Amino acid sequence: MRAYERRFEPAVVTAAQAAQHLRCSPKTVRKLCQQGDIRAVKLGTDWRIPTEALDEFLGCESGEEG
């Protein structure tokens, strides 16, 4: 994805939004966050995940296309 396309994405997503992107359950995303596999911040009972952390988890680089 190109940089100009990314600027309209949210900088942070919920576990449910991340689960849709990863095509798994929100419970799985929360477990990955708890284990430290996905970089995230817990706010109360909810997790907030930077979109960059999802890219890191998937092995994508921010400047990489395709």
- Residue range 20-47, pLDDT digits in tens: 999 999 999 999 999 999 999 999 999 9
Task: Report the pLDDT value the prediction gives residue 66, as an integer from 0 to 100.
Answer: 44
Domain tally for the chain? 1
Angle at 61 (CA atoms; ends 46, 39), nearest 5 degrees: 20
How sure is the predictor about 14, in pLDDT bands with cuts at 50, 70 and 90? very high
Confidence (pLDDT) at 13:
97
Q: Does 5 fall in a domain?
A: no
Q: 33 lies in which domain range?
A: 12-58
pLDDT above 90 for 19:
yes
Could you tell me which residues are beta bridge partners of residue 62? none
The pTM assigned to this predicted structure is: 0.76
Classify residue 22: in a domain, yes or no. Answer: yes
Instruction: Give a yes or no: residue 64 inside a domain.
Output: no
From residue 45, give the alpha-carbon distance in Å to each of 2, 32, 33, 36.
Answer: 33, 15, 12, 16
